[in-house]
Amino acid sequence: MTVKGSHPKVLLVDDLEANLRALQTILKELPLEIYKAKSGSEGLRMVLNHAFALVLLDVQMPEMSGYEMASILHQNPAYRHIPIIFITANDPTEINKLSGYAVGAVDYLFKPLNREVLLSKVQVFIELDRKQRKLEEEMAQRRLIMDELQSHKMHLEELVAQRTAELEQSNARLRQEVADRTKAEQQTKISLEANEALLQEIHHRVKNNLQVVAGLLYLQSTEIEDPDMLDIFIDSNNRIHSMALVHETLYQTHNFAQVEFGEYAQNLVNLLVQSYQLPNVTVRPPRGTATVPLAAAAPCGLILNELISNAMKHAFPNSRSGTIDITVETNADDGSFSFVIEDDGVGLPAGWDPANSRSLGVRLVKRLVSQVRGSVTFTSSQGTCVTVRIPPFSKRS
């Protein structure tokens, strides 16, 4: 970074540190003073304290979108002149560009970024800023000369009155800015509280709706005499319960960003034990703990449901006794997440290959694991061991 105060200031706003570093690496060859913010709120605070020549703003951010931040700046006369270039990974045909331009955008850049295009656009606005600053300096010099000439013509009482009026106007502007900032903070707080209440209600209703569907499946299953068809209904019912359990966990903990997977696994085990009612099979309490983001909670829950269900149904034929162990953990070195389902049952059939399996459960597990960009391995010696590994969520763009 260049010495502060010696070059034009540029603000980079993106919730991903990797994207900020990439932008800074490209722009470091230009004579700029670069500031970085990882959220819209942090970016707004920086705008209050610095005169930026340009803002490079990511569109999609979890706390506050780029459009929302730009709208706040555009509504404030003190900052609406700052040029904003939106950076997005969306296809240009899918973006409502008019919305962006309406809140102060001057251009769009699309990921992956083209280095030459980025440098060219930034240089244009930096040059405009330099010219604007030079013009302002010249105008200030002219006003100073005019004031000096005027001061020789004005009486001392007129000078005092003028200075007094200027001070009153300055104080009025400051009071208005403080009032606007206080109002904006209050509106943000109200909006956050309303969003939290809405999310809680949504998860509550989704859970209730899924439970209604599960109840309908159960009622229908009571009229089925075919054992194979009954198994299909029970499996479907358990899958629905595993998804409903995610929303129930979010609703009860009031944490709408992530799920504590060890606690979730224990609740799921309780449901499956009650569903299958196998007195000869012991499912031990899950060991370990890990937090899973909301976007991956439902797929991981379904994967865990399939693997435990398969072990309970197939590992212990002919009322054979056995034990199922579940381990959940987070790798402290790289932040990856994994869970292991291990039983001491009959093991996998000789020559069995998951890649060629036509089992719905196995196919569903492979598809869900692929959805969260993870991997699954099946091993069999004294029973069966299935390991699911999922890469760190924080490294995904």
- Number of structural domains (the chain) is 2
pLDDT of residue 154: 78
Range of the domain at 37: 9-129
pLDDT of residue 304: 86
pLDDT of residue 215: 60
- Specify the amino acid at residue 61: M
Q: Is residue 78 within 8 Å of 102, Cβ to Cβ? A: no
> ∠ CA 102-104-109 to the nearest 5 degrees?
100
Q: What is the pTM of this model?
A: 0.45
**CATH assignment of the domain containing 365:** 3.30.565.10
pLDDT of residue 204: 44
Query: Where does a domain end: 129, 156, 189?
Result: 129
Query: Where does a domain end: 129, 154, 172?
Result: 129
Residue among 22, 74, 78 at smallest CA distance from 49: 78
Q: Which residues have CB under 8 Å from 342's CB, separation 6+?
A: 324, 325, 326, 327, 383, 384, 385, 386
Q: Would residue 96 count as lying in a domain?
A: yes
pLDDT of residue 192: 54
pLDDT of residue 1: 41
Q: Would residue 392 count as lying in a domain?
A: yes
Element (H, E) at 11: strand 9-13
Q: Would residue 259 count as lying in a domain?
A: no
Distance CA 3, CA 16 (A): 25
Q: Would residue 228 count as lying in a domain?
A: no
Spans of the chain below 50 pLDDT: 1-3, 194-195, 197-205, 207, 251, 397
pLDDT of residue 280: 92
Counting beta carbons within 10 angstroms of the beta carbon of residue 323, is it exposed (0 to 12), middle (13 to 18) or buried (19 or more)?
A: middle
Query: Where does a domain end: 83, 113, 129?
Result: 129
pLDDT of residue 23: 92
Q: Is residue 212 within 8 Å of 225, Cβ to Cβ? A: no
Q: Would residue 283 count as lying in a domain?
A: yes
**CATH assignment of the domain containing 13:** 3.40.50.2300
